[in-house]
Structure 1
Amino acid sequence: MKTILIPVTTNFFSRNFLRTDAYGQLRASGAYIVLLVPPRRLAYYRSEFSASHTRIEAMPDVRTWIEDVFLFVETASIHSRTEEMLQFTELYRRGARRAVLVRYAVFVVRRACWVLGRFSWWRMLVRRAYFLIPHSAAVAVLTHYRPDLVFAPAMIGGDYPFLKEAKRQGIKTAGMVLSWDNLFSKTLLRVHPDRLLVHTEYLKDQAVNLGDFPARGIEITGVPQYDRYFQRKSTVSRERFITALGGDPAKKLILYAFSGKSGIGIEFEVVKILHEIIKGGELGEDVEVLLRPYPRYDFPEEKLERMRRDYGFLAAPAVAHIGDGKDDWEFDGASADFLHATLAHADVVFTMYSTFFIEAAIFDKPILAVAFDGLKKRDYWNSAARFFEWEHLARLMRFKAMDVITDREEMARAIRTALKNPEAHAGGRSEIVRDQCGYTDGRAGERVAASLTRMLN
């Protein structure tokens, strides 16, 4: 029986792999699967995902100062507009805790790396230098389990020690890019696995051009976590879903999907403006609003309750919380079902820079993009407008699939239009799906499992 070792280095792994057909198909192939998970989540993973031919063990701490240095150099060397903007944003960000001189010193080093990152020789030098430094904890893991294949399901920091040592020992390696934006700002593909799985042709181009990965070693699979949407799996009824949240299913539902930490202050102000628009009768009809936090920055129950009380909006946690730590969250089955129902029953989707642009397009829902600064004017590096210069978002703009909101009046007008004419921009939404999903047959998970099985056999 062949063994595949998988380090779990992101909370999105359960949604993107274990709760898709990829995990079931890989088990059915006869492979022996070893999942290495953070110790604090070991009990949860064993209770949720234990199965025959699957072993779930605690992952050793692979973070070292050397790993931190290479992570810094790697990300700073990504020669993309997104990374360049992130460097300037970090320098000029309001509320930054670092002293001004420290911020400028870090900025200068990052800018030097970014300039050098345009040259292939520099990128190769970073990878080569990293490869030459052994990682004892990863060596010990591979010596103990003796896998036939190491699969890095995210291609981010914690994956690389295992990939590096596997390649040094002649063990087969595979990796999968986590998300649509990662190659613009999170990884230079510090270690090249034998095979790289990507969701789309667009990600393949990024892997070749930014990550220097040979095109012949890349396989396009589609997006496993979207399979359930394309398979049109049934979800709870609209009446049951909205009633359970305390809302009226007869009213149209506006979903506001928070995007993350970078724009959170603006988004709270936009939510307040949305409340004022509705309260002032500017939409011409009464609606329900559902607030959905970003998973990594899910809101505590007291904050959700305060927004319910202050605005009369519906609100619910995005994920399950399995501990008290900042990263102790997981996409359990109920969270995945709730997300599916949210997308199925929303009539309009608001977001700023999240994957809800793609998910709303899959469900052919009108999309409203938040590109203004809420209640007060902000400088460019702290504004909402800057997000739409990130490459992955700028690409979406070419499809004319959404209304981009630049002020309060346009916000009210765009909501009214979306509610009355949801078919507008439908062609653009189809283009987003074609461009950002790769396949729409609901079999991405199968393709991931088939690719890994071929490598094992």
Structure 2
Amino acid sequence: MKKTIFFSVYDVHVFRNLFLPPDSVVRKLVLRGDHNIVILRRSQVLPEFFSAEELKNMPHVVIENISYFRPKTRLERAFHFFYSYLVFTGTTKLLATVGDRLDAPPAGGNRHLWVIKWVIAHTFGKFNIIKRNVVPWLYQKIFTERPYKALFDTHNPDLVFCSDIAHFPDIEIAAEAKRRNIKTAGMPSKWDHFNKYFVPVQTDVLAVQNEPMKKEAVKYEGYKSSEVDVVGFPQWDNYYGIERHVIQRDEFLKKMGMPGDSKVILFVSGSVYAADEPDILQAISNQISKGFFGPSVRLLLRPYPQTSEKAKYLQFEQDQNVFINWIDNTNSMDNFLHYVNMMYHADVVISLFSTTAIEAAIFDKPVLTIGFDGYKKRPYHQSVRRWEDLAHFRHVLDTGSVKVIKSFPELFAQIRAYLDDPGQDRELRKDLVDKMCYKIDGRSSERLANFILQNA
């Protein structure tokens, strides 16, 4: 009899990472045909996984639409507050004191609670028995709604794989499996999750994307090293043998409306996390006009995906030096490949303390991160300077491969230096890839699929 695997795909990033690529994790599991695969899907946001015609030929695949779950009662919310702050890192402190968004009050209006959060982490958070035993037991006693009970009753899975274990609804899905003694496997959907907050339910086994994440799972989340496997980033499998996805440079430049001899400065927006990027862009454009960077240099702006930044960048639609790529790379394979070509043909990449720094290193592109607020002198809680304190990004900065730029003169000089000699810091970029990517060998999806099947 075939075993049944629950596979949660609730978040749009999980869809992009684990389903969208042609040789994705989900497709590998489905095409094998030797397990029943029940996909727990967020119907309101995600596109259809398979056509009705495809599903006719896959009787072992069931797609169940699920709704969101979050703490509701006062007791649930109080317990959620308590267990979340069993972890308190530089990232947690930043979020608890100044917050991450400029369009919201510092720390969601609860800045005064940061000392309590610190105390929780430095008392209760010191004991693994609280993380591994007490908190999971209390979770079962306090969260009693069991919204996914009927799904488990219907399908009786042998393994539950939670692809975004750091967040709801995957936390509650894992908890329901634990109530029934069903084996659980998990994975964080992003590389910055385990050093922010504590996750109240540990899965029996855990897959992570790199070695620093494995160390964080052990240090912060209560896992044993033997319970954690490193598999790499499945969404970056397409970066291996990248030439098969790349169009000719003159074709790409023509597609973007740029002259065929252009050198490209790619600027990746930080969205609501940074208000002064237009100052930076305008200053770079002015230097392009003056010829400071050399002949035929263009600035390619990539706004933050899944947000509306039209108003923020409206002034640049008539700027002859600036070309804007409005395509969202998260919602289709064609758009993702457009992003690949954008990165591949860039000569210098500028971003804001983001994953883009790692991707640029994979492509061996010089990368800068903006560490100042344009022409303004913002206080720390509104300044991009605060992002240097992010615990997860310290892994990147410690390699020395990404320069944090603190002024316009430094920015202009470093752009010109990298345009003149893109080989600068190449060995440091290799170090960054080795540290943060595990392996760029096109086999991360295969490793994750094998991890799931071995535990089914």
Q: Cα deviations across residues 183-216 of structure 1 (Å, max 9, x unaligned)?
A: 111x423211111001111111000001110111
Aligned residue for 2:18, secondary structure, equals: helix
Decide whether the 8 Å contact of 1:295 with 1:319 is kept in 2.
yes
**Is 2:43 aligned against 1:32?**
no
Range with bigger deviation, 165-174 or 419-428: 165-174
From the superposition, tell whether residues 49 and 68 of structure 1 become closer, same or farther in structure 2 (CA, over 3 Å). farther
**Is 2:96 aligned against 1:87?**
yes
Cα distance in 1, alignment partners of residues 305 and 221 from structure 2: 28
Decide whether the 8 Å contact of 1:17 with 1:225 is kept in 2.
yes
Paired residues, what number? 442
In structure 1, the partner of 2:72 is 65
Q: Which amino acid in structure 1 is aligned with residue 131 of structure 2?
A: R
Q: Cα deviations across residues 276-314 of structure 1 (Å, max 9, x unaligned)?
A: 2223332233312111122243535x7666532246411
Decide whether the 8 Å contact of 1:343 with 1:363 is kept in 2.
yes
From the superposition, tell whether residues 46 and 305 of structure 1 become closer, same or farther in structure 2 (CA, over 3 Å). farther
TM-score by length of 2: 0.89
User: Per-residue deviation at 1:389?
Assistant: 2.2
Decide whether the 8 Å contact of 2:96 with 2:111 is kept in 1.
no
User: Per-residue deviation at 1:69?
Assistant: 4.7
Q: Cα deviations across residues 17-37 of structure 1 (Å, max 9, x unaligned)?
A: 002431222123322222222
User: Per-residue deviation at 1:60?
Assistant: 2.6
From the superposition, tell whether residues 123 and 172 of structure 1 become closer, same or farther in structure 2 (CA, over 3 Å). closer
Decide whether the 8 Å contact of 2:212 with 2:395 is kept in 1.
no
In structure 2, the partner of 1:247 is 258
Q: Which amino acid in structure 2 is aligned with residue 23 of structure 1?
A: V
In structure 2, the partner of 1:324 is none
Decide whether the 8 Å contact of 2:267 with 2:351 is kept in 1.
yes
Q: Which amino acid in structure 2 is aligned with residue 25 of structure 1?
A: K
**Is 2:136 aligned against 1:123?**
no
Decide whether the 8 Å contact of 2:278 with 2:312 is kept in 1.
no
In structure 2, the partner of 1:447 is 447
In structure 2, the partner of 1:313 is 322
From the superposition, tell whether residues 34 and 49 of structure 1 become closer, same or farther in structure 2 (CA, over 3 Å). farther
Range with bigger deviation, 274-283 or 362-371: 274-283
In structure 2, the partner of 1:410 is 410
Q: Cα deviations across residues 22-60 of structure 1 (Å, max 9, x unaligned)?
A: 122212332222222223136644559964233222113
In structure 2, the partner of 1:422 is 422
In structure 1, the partner of 2:210 is 200
Higher RCO structure (Cα 8 Å, ≥6 apart)? 1
Cα distance in 2, alignment partners of residues 414 and 99 from structure 1: 34
Q: 20, 25, 28: which is aligned to 1:22?
A: 25
In structure 2, the partner of 1:110 is 117
In structure 2, the partner of 1:8 is 9
Decide whether the 8 Å contact of 2:371 with 2:406 is kept in 1.
yes
Aligned residue for 2:44, secondary structure, equals: helix
Range with bigger deviation, 270-279 or 188-197: 270-279
User: Per-residue deviation at 1:106?
Assistant: 4.1
From the superposition, tell whether residues 340 and 44 of structure 1 become closer, same or farther in structure 2 (CA, over 3 Å). same
User: Per-residue deviation at 1:181?
Assistant: 1.1
From the superposition, tell whether residues 455 and 98 of structure 1 become closer, same or farther in structure 2 (CA, over 3 Å). closer
Decide whether the 8 Å contact of 1:81 with 1:391 is kept in 2.
yes
Decide whether the 8 Å contact of 1:135 with 1:165 is kept in 2.
no
In structure 2, the partner of 1:343 is 343
Decide whether the 8 Å contact of 1:175 with 1:196 is kept in 2.
yes
In structure 1, the partner of 2:295 is 285
From the superposition, tell whether residues 371 and 42 of structure 1 become closer, same or farther in structure 2 (CA, over 3 Å). closer
Q: Which amino acid in structure 2 is aligned with residue 184 of structure 1?
A: N
Cα distance in 2, alignment partners of residues 193 and 129 from structure 1: 16
User: Per-residue deviation at 1:359?
Assistant: 0.3
Range with bigger deviation, 108-117 or 81-90: 108-117
User: Per-residue deviation at 1:68?
Assistant: 5.0
**Is 2:282 aligned against 1:272?**
yes
Q: Cα deviations across residues 150-180 of structure 1 (Å, max 9, x unaligned)?
A: 1111112221110001011111211012222
Q: Which amino acid in structure 1 is aligned with residue 233 of structure 2?
A: V
From the superposition, tell whether residues 196 and 420 of structure 1 become closer, same or farther in structure 2 (CA, over 3 Å). same
From the superposition, tell whether residues 377 and 252 of structure 1 become closer, same or farther in structure 2 (CA, over 3 Å). same
Aligned residue for 1:35, secondary structure, equals: strand
In structure 2, the partner of 1:181 is 192
RMSD: 2.6
Aligned residue for 2:216, secondary structure, equals: helix
4+ residue stretches of structure 1 with deviation over 6 A? none
From the superposition, tell whether residues 33 and 309 of structure 1 become closer, same or farther in structure 2 (CA, over 3 Å). farther
Gaps of 5+ in 1: 321-329
In structure 1, the partner of 2:85 is 76
In structure 1, the partner of 2:227 is 217
Identity %: 28
Decide whether the 8 Å contact of 2:98 with 2:111 is kept in 1.
no
Q: Cα deviations across residues 239-293 of structure 1 (Å, max 9, x unaligned)?
A: 2222112112311111111234322x03233222222222333223331211112
Aligned residue for 1:182, secondary structure, equals: coil
Gaps of 5+ in 2: none
User: Per-residue deviation at 1:429?
Assistant: 0.1
User: Per-residue deviation at 1:418?
Assistant: 0.6
